[in-house]
Amino acid sequence: MKKMNHRYIRNFLLKICKFFINITSMLVFWDKDLRHRIRERLHPFNPNRCIQYLEQYCVVQPDENPVQAEAARKVIWQFWSQGLDGCPEIVRRSIQSVDDHLPAGYTHIVLTEETCKDYVELPSFIWEAKQKNLISTIHFSDILRVWLLDQYGGVWVDATCLLTASIPQAILDAPFFCYRSQGEFACTYIQSCFIKSDAHHPVTHKLCQTLERYWQGEGTIIHYFTFHFIFIALLRKDKAFREAVEQLHLTDDDAPMHYLFYALRRGRKYSPLLLEQAARQSFIHKLTYKEPDLFSDSRTDITLLVSTYNWPKALKLCIESASQQTVLPCEVIIADDGSGDETRQLILQLQGRYPELNIRHVWHPDEGFRRTVILNKALAQAQGEYIIQIDGDVVLEKHFIADHLELMEPGYYVCGSRTKVGKAQTEKILASGKFLLSHRGLKLSFLLNQFRNKPLRHYLALRYARKIDHMRGCNMAFWLSDFLRVNGYNEDLLQWGHEDSELIYRMHFAGVQKKALKMGGVLYHLWHPEASRSNEDTHLKAIRKIIEGKVKWCENGIDKYDICTR
């Protein structure tokens, strides 16, 4: 009893210490990463200190009566403490997905806090700690999964894991399987949300024994990732455990199973399209019930449309900046007006490097400047409801898409601005392959185009939108339905000049109004020689004809192509 009281006092002091550490780190308000590093360095139980502390519970002596591993029962275990009545929608969908993809011959058992007693007999001190709320439901499930897998074997799947395909047979046949943690949570070493184990497997059995010793000694949790840190402590301390793990060939990359979650976190709409894209990455997807807004149907699928022609170095910078957006599009369509093989090879590399962008390459042969044609072909295949259009020679500030979405509204299109980068700076940027911009030499008007301010952005949206012909094709956005309503780009307008303005005038006469995106939607336009303006007068005449006749529809437009059904 005295020992337990000491631990309660220690945990209370740790909470006070953590509070003051958080207050101290908040002083570094301008740098989130630095705040986290300060907290981790100062915390008495940071991951490394925690693992060292837990090593005391890792008994390295061999078992006097070792238990032999047995073939796992064909069971998929899941747990939701309160039962499925009234559970969050994502839990309901996830559990249903296991039923939908249940392997042949397998039983699906969903346990609650009451029914788990029918399958495992947990030590009394664990139940006592649970009744005193010293064990949270999350940490209780850590205990439960290990006890179940040690006793019966089978597959543990968290109740917030969504399956989009059956569990691969190679995993079901493995004596033990789990994913290795990477990226932000690499310190946890393993992912515990999906584990397959034979009954009494050395890894599971040793985890079970160590967890029991830990809870008997501590009676409370010392770190959110205690389960994972016990695994690491065993790796450090127990040679037999380490050798057993080294024989397992754990999957090194857990990123595919988080594709869906991070796509939702970065603004994607939970839709059949996103699920199809996620299913190409993994059969299982770790989600959360704590952020229900992620699964709202009110979000809009965004297509980022990028036009390009034979400038792969600029296109590479453009797509890299798209990958760093705080809000992701559902797809990036590269509308390619006849570029050569160097661009094609680059796009193949970018598709592999940034699967979250779902990059698609729409190309036609080089027969001169046919931008209106390739844009129509690309938008005929678009799966997004809202189109943000840029050129392939621009670099996006990371809030570019988010700023556009602030002004997105039915019945409106949006025209943004640009910051032009000079010739000398462009050459330096392309030579280095990195976008490092010096503000020296930029005109004042272009400097102002780099500022972001939300109140001013909304204040100027309509007040700055009086001139219809003030249009930037490298920074514009519109609803695809409005684009189709006027039959898209006018393919009679070949050669350079005002093809975007002609489209916008027809949208205007069709009742679509303009918003101007100022103080946001920042992009940087790399320098290049201006295109020939020999055909500009012809295009201006076409625009005057549109204005005089208030024309809404062009005859030679997108309707000749098969439009993607959504």
AA letter at 240? A
Tens of pLDDT along 40-49?
A: 666 666 888 8
- What pLDDT band is residue 59 in, cutting at 50, 70 and 90? confident
Cβ within 8 Å of residue 561, ≥6 positions away = 376, 377, 380
Cβ within 8 Å of residue 430, ≥6 positions away = 313, 314, 317, 526
Residue pair 338/325 in contact (Cβ under 8 Å)? The answer is no
Q: What is the DSSP string of 314-326?
A: HHHHHHHHHHT-S
Q: What is the mean pLDDT of residues 352-378?
A: 94
- What pLDDT band is residue 60 in, cutting at 50, 70 and 90? low
Neighbours of 46 (CB within 10 A): 14
Residue pair 503/486 in contact (Cβ under 8 Å)? The answer is yes
Average pLDDT for the chain: 87
Which helix (H) or strand (E) element contains residue 71? Answer: none
Q: What is the mean pLDDT of residues 50-77?
A: 80
Cβ within 8 Å of residue 172, ≥6 positions away = 103, 155, 196
Q: What is the DSSP letter of 185?
A: G
Which numeric CATH code is attached to 64-219+243-260? Answer: 3.90.550
Tens of pLDDT along 388-410?
A: 999 999 999 999 999 999 999 99
Q: What is the mean pLDDT of residues 152-160?
A: 96
Asked if 64-219+243-260 and 300-560 have one fold, the answer is yes
> Can you name the CATH fold of 300-560?
Spore Coat Polysaccharide Biosynthesis Protein SpsA; Chain A (3.90.550)
What's the pLDDT at 466? 74
3-state secondary structure of 368: coil
Residue pair 190/286 in contact (Cβ under 8 Å)? The answer is no
Q: Which two tokens stand for residue 249?
A: 């060939």
* Whether residue 199 has pLDDT greater than 70: yes
- What pLDDT band is residue 201 in, cutting at 50, 70 and 90? very high
Backbone angles phi, psi at 493, to 5 degrees: -90, 90
What's the pLDDT at 447? 59
What's the pLDDT at 1? 46
Cα separation of 137 and 122, whole Å? Answer: 15
Q: Look-up: residue for tokens 């008495």?
A: 44
CB-neighbour burial class of residue 266 (10 A; exposed 0-12, middle 13-18, buried 19+): middle
- What pLDDT band is residue 134 in, cutting at 50, 70 and 90? confident
* Whether residue 538 has pLDDT greater than 60: yes
Cα radius of gyration rounded to whole Å, the chain = 29
* Whether residue 440 has pLDDT greater than 60: no
Which segment of 25-29, 178-182, 348-352 scores lowest on mean pLDDT?
Answer: 25-29
Which segment of 366-370, 512-516, 535-539, 558-562 scores lowest on mean pLDDT?
Answer: 535-539
Tens of pLDDT along 478-535?
A: 999 999 999 999 998 887 778 888 999 999 999 999 999 999 999 999 988 877 666 7
3-state secondary structure 410-455: CCEEEEECCEECCHHHHHHHHHHCCCCCCCCCCCHHHHHCCCCCHH
Nearest to 420 by CA among 315, 314, 528: 528
User: Which of the pair, 251 or 172, is modelled with greater confidence?
Assistant: 172
Q: What is the mean pLDDT of residues 177-191?
A: 86
Backbone angles phi, psi at 520, to 5 degrees: 170, 180
Strand locations in 112-239 (E): 154-157, 161-163, 176-180, 190-197
What's the pLDDT at 448? 66
* Whether residue 436 has pLDDT greater than 80: no
What's the pLDDT at 257? 92
Cβ within 8 Å of residue 24, ≥6 positions away = 38, 42
Cα separation of 302 and 398, whole Å? Answer: 16
Cα separation of 514 and 549, whole Å? Answer: 20
Task: Map out the domains of the chain as residue ranges.
Answer: 2-42, 64-219+243-260, 300-560
Cβ within 8 Å of residue 166, ≥6 positions away = 101, 102, 103, 283
Residue pair 299/268 in contact (Cβ under 8 Å)? The answer is yes
Cα separation of 491 and 494, whole Å? Answer: 7
3-state secondary structure of 457: helix
What's the pLDDT at 359? 96
What's the pLDDT at 142? 96
Cα separation of 368 and 535, whole Å? Answer: 13
Cα separation of 220 and 223, whole Å? Answer: 9
What's the pLDDT at 223? 87
Q: Look-up: residue for tokens 């094709």?
A: 473
Cα separation of 116 and 96, whole Å? Answer: 20
Cβ within 8 Å of residue 497, ≥6 positions away = 533, 535, 536, 538, 539, 540
What's the pLDDT at 2? 46
The residues pairing with 154 across neighbouring beta strands, listed in sequence order, are 197
What's the pLDDT at 222? 85
Tens of pLDDT along 305-330?
A: 999 999 999 999 999 999 999 999 99
pTM exceeds cut of 0.75: yes
Q: What is the maximum alpha-carbon separation in the chain?
A: 95
Cα separation of 37 and 529, whole Å? Answer: 46
What's the pLDDT at 77? 97
The residues pairing with 396 across neighbouring beta strands, listed in sequence order, are 523
